Structure 1
């Protein structure tokens, strides 16, 4: 069987074209996959979600930002405080060292991807990106009350509440919270409010003594038994009368004797 030289040439050209195009197709497919898995810009997403101030702090801390970006491949859930919360916290933030600032920022993310539904079913302590073995726990506690997700630390007297979902696409989730999370490793724990000391008992004793003295005075003024009805003044008058009676008797007797003697002398 004879073959046409033209057909053979066409077949060879087609084979060469396939060999040339296959690598290009593979490269295009690889490039498309890389674009689909591009690392999201975490700080840009935070800024759009009402956490611009926190994103700015993160951009100014290369170590913290690098840790956030490195955690993306394994999954990360970030809690970004709102701009209002960050403004109120800035005086405390400025007092931290550079390492302290980085630790604080890293404290706002856990190295696990959680949907909001997953957070609601994950009550309990969680490690954060700042956790470094037993020496630096840097744990926060997730607590839920109904549909409200809260984050607690021993250094704050009130929990931070999840306000909204900024971004949620596996493997990255970002949630806006209404307070800056304070790790106990950087801030003193909030002591339990001391029980108020009982109010001192009213000074009843002095008032009771006064009433007693008052009652005694009233008792002295109160009428006594029927046999002692007379007042002290009346009693003194009676005494004078009784004392004067014998004197008058003796005077009358003396006068009578004098009259008798005078009559005898006249006779």
Structure 2
């Protein structure tokens, strides 16, 4: 009996360490803990002044599912402020369900951009609405100093980044002051009207061959004297003076001739 109790004690002494070792082995091979979930972009929008835009995403099944799946791989959202969404509401209501989803997805790009990275990027960016075929749905980011703007080919005004709402890799959310309009859904901006070309200077009129010949054949000359003019005739004033002198010279002769005739007549009377 004593030997049986001793044998049982020995078996228990050996079995306990083995059981503990087996339990420790199972603990060490357990699956690793899951990585933390990415930040919730829509929740950040609600807290940061983009509550209206977050509500539009939640009301669109396509947009909400795409936002949730894209966050894990990296995403940057440009959410319009509540005032911007309110001003755009009448135009948003006129869109189809697909158009609304495309507009909401157009405000996010599938890449994480920190504030510094965003300011160092200039050019065209694809969005969550881009499908790589007929639907381009891209916009252009431009930086001028500390101002970041978003431009499209549509007629809507340029959207400007106002503030950073969330910056937690792999998700960033920025507030913009306008709803960004894709050219695929809205009227394109009119092309700038080119300035009218200056009118060519008018050429001076050219004389014809006949007119030129006439001008050459008729040189300008001084007026010729009339047919009765005498090149050697004295001037008119000098001529009048000459006539007066001649009349004065002839007057004594006439008086002398008259006196002679009177004397002859007197003599004849005496003799008779």
1:25-55 deviation per Cα after TM superposition (whole angstroms, max 9, x unaligned)? 665x73xx42x52133221111111100000
1:20 aligns with 2:19: no
Corresponding residue for residue 180 of structure 1: 179
Return closer, same or farther for 1:21/1:83 CA change in 2, 3 Å cut-off. Answer: farther
Q: The residue matched to 1:166 in structure 2 has which SS? A: strand
Corresponding residue for residue 71 of structure 1: 70
Corresponding residue for residue 103 of structure 2: 104
TM-score by structure 2 length? 0.63
Q: The residue matched to 2:187 in structure 1 has which SS? A: coil
Structure 1 residue ranges (4+ consecutive) displaced by more than 3 angstroms after TM superposition: 4-12, 21-27, 192-197
Q: How much has 1:19 moved relative to structure 2?
A: 3.1
1:200-244 deviation per Cα after TM superposition (whole angstroms, max 9, x unaligned)? xxxxxxxxxxxxxxxxxxxxxxxxxxxxxxxxxxxxxxxxxxxxx
Q: 1:50 and 1:71 mapped to 2: Cα distance?
A: 22
The structure with more helix, counted as a fraction of residues: 1
Q: 2:176 and 2:66 mapped to 1: Cα distance?
A: 20
Return closer, same or farther for 1:19/1:42 CA change in 2, 3 Å cut-off. Answer: farther
Q: 2:165 and 2:173 mapped to 1: Cα distance?
A: 5
Q: 1:159 and 1:192 mapped to 2: Cα distance?
A: 16
Conserved 8 A contact 2:38-2:171: no
1:149 aligns with 2:148: yes
RMSD, aligned CA: 2.6
Q: The residue matched to 1:162 in structure 2 has which SS? A: strand
Q: How much has 1:138 moved relative to structure 2?
A: 0.2
Return closer, same or farther for 1:6/1:177 CA change in 2, 3 Å cut-off. Answer: farther
Q: 1:104 and 1:164 mapped to 2: Cα distance?
A: 21
Q: The residue matched to 2:135 in structure 1 has which SS? A: coil
Corresponding residue for residue 47 of structure 1: 46
Conserved 8 A contact 2:155-2:190: no
Return closer, same or farther for 1:17/1:131 CA change in 2, 3 Å cut-off. Answer: same
Q: How much has 1:11 moved relative to structure 2?
A: 6.0
How many residues get paired?
192
Q: The residue matched to 1:74 in structure 2 has which SS? A: coil
Conserved 8 A contact 2:44-2:166: yes
TM-score by structure 1 length? 0.65
Larger Rg, first or second structure (1 or 2): 2
Q: The residue matched to 2:178 in structure 1 has which SS? A: coil
Return closer, same or farther for 1:107/1:6 CA change in 2, 3 Å cut-off. Answer: same
Q: 2:114 and 2:140 mapped to 1: Cα distance?
A: 16
Q: The residue matched to 1:54 in structure 2 has which SS? A: helix
1:1-267 alignment runs, 5 A limit: 9-10=12-13, 12-21=15-24, 23-24=26-27, 27=30, 30=32, 33-34=33-34, 36-192=35-191, 194=193
Corresponding residue for residue 255 of structure 1: none
